[in-house]
Amino acid sequence: MRSEPLLTTVPPAPVRRLAELYAIAFDFAQKAAQRYGTLAERIDESFGSVRRVFEVLVTRERDRADSLTAACLGACGKRPDAADLRWTPIDLVPAAEISEVGNSGLSTPYTAWALAARHRQRAFVFWTYVIARAEDPVVRNTAEGFARDALSDGNLLRRERRLAWRAERKVAADENAAADGADEPASAALLESLLLRDIIAWSLGLTPAQRDRVLAMDRSRLPPYFLAAPEGTDVEPASGDIEQVKQRALRRAEQLSNMYLDDADSAHDQDSMELAQKLAAQSIMRLAGLRNIASAAQ
């Protein structure tokens, strides 16, 4: 996820009543549970470690919704009610961010914890706006409690993020030591060559129309020197069943997009930056097309 403001839309009006405040907070918890739930319900084996994080997140948000219901009953004599909302609550857990994690072949538990930490940080920023504009002291005090909870949650989620990062670094180091760096090529040229072989193998299991679409993406109009493996490098033909080949192709296509984006960010001159940006744009378009075909072929 690229850097962007945490909160792109501020509350459009002050929160005037306690029932309205609880309705907003309850809406946040329900939407978060629903959005996280779409990934917690994924059954594909490759997503297992990420799914378990979202299962925890769903439980946390459902517990939050239950606590808000109990607090609202005690303070207002009723459950949180959408009828008390005077404006549509801001989307703190955008579907696009959830989709990005779900569609990425590179998502890990670290990715999931980082996303959740960002969402709670976004909630904290939102509640600070509510506090600043609140006229009713009871509303303001209650919103301050919500802000403290969001801040505390964010700290806990960042701790889980750090633990996941350390665990993933250790696994990566162990794998690199065992394979001596041979499993995942660092060279964009070699990765392009391996992706091309995967795309050709993938096309064999598709309908003629789908095959034409996949093969049209094989080279993505890349410069010739990006399409041949470096001298002395032995590239094996694509291996595995079609599903394995497809998932590997999607993962490699995403890796290449990230590599080109990183190259553009770190370029030391204009020509290098423009080339990297061009390669990144073409690679992102290719990745989107492959994902579309993969979804249609299921």
Task: Output the average pLDDT for the chain.
Answer: 81
pLDDT higher than threshold 90 for residue 126: yes
Q: What angle do CA 241, 104, 96 make, to 5 degrees?
A: 140
Q: Strand ranges (DSSP E) for 151-290?
A: none
3-class DSSP string for 87-110: CCCCCCCCHHHHHHHHHCCCCCHH
Indicate the CATH number of 18-179 among 3.60.15.10, 1.10.238.10, 1.10.1740.10, 1.20.1260.10: 1.20.1260.10
State the Cα–Cα distance between residues 63 and 56, nearest whole angstrom.
Answer: 11
Residue whose entry in the numeric block shows the structure tokens 């794998």: 175
Cα→Cα distances 5→8, 125, 250, Å: 6, 11, 29
Residues 203-210: contacts with CB under 8 Å, at least 24 apart? 204/242, 205/242, 206/293, 206/297, 210/293, 210/296, 210/297
Residue whose entry in the numeric block shows the structure tokens 């959740």: 116
The ranges of the chain annotated as CATH 1.20.1260.10 are 18-179, 188-296
| Model confidence pLDDT, tens digit, residues 80-95 | 999 999 999 999 999 9
| Model confidence pLDDT, tens digit, residues 246-279 | 888 888 887 887 788 778 777 788 888 888 888 8
Q: What share of the chain is helix, strand, coil (3-state, %, to 5)?
A: 70, 0, 30
Q: Judge contact between 227 and 219, C-beta under 8 A.
A: yes
| DSSP 8-class letter at 18 | H
State the Cα–Cα distance between residues 131 and 127, nearest whole angstrom.
Answer: 6
Q: Judge contact between 215 and 256, C-beta under 8 A.
A: no
In 3D space, the residue among 152, 150, 156 whose CA is nearest the CA of residue 128 turns out to be 150
In 3D space, the residue among 109, 75, 92, 116 whose CA is nearest the CA of residue 25 turns out to be 92
Give the total residue count for the chain: 298
| DSSP 8-class letter at 269 | S
Burial class from Cβ neighbours inside 10 Å (0-12, 13-18, 19+) for residue 218 reads: middle
State the Cα–Cα distance between residues 115 and 134, nearest whole angstrom.
Answer: 29
> Predicted confidence band at 1 (pLDDT cuts at 50, 70, 90)?
very low
What mean pLDDT do residues 194-205 have? 80
| Model confidence pLDDT, tens digit, residues 41-60 | 998 888 899 999 999 999 99
State the Cα–Cα distance between residues 11 and 125, nearest whole angstrom.
Answer: 11
Percent of the chain with pLDDT over 70: 81
Please state which CATH number belongs to domain 188-296: 1.20.1260.10
> Predicted confidence band at 3 (pLDDT cuts at 50, 70, 90)?
very low
State the Cα–Cα distance between residues 225 and 169, nearest whole angstrom.
Answer: 32
Concatenate the DSSP letters of all residues of 198-210 into one string. Answer: HHHHHHTTS-HHH
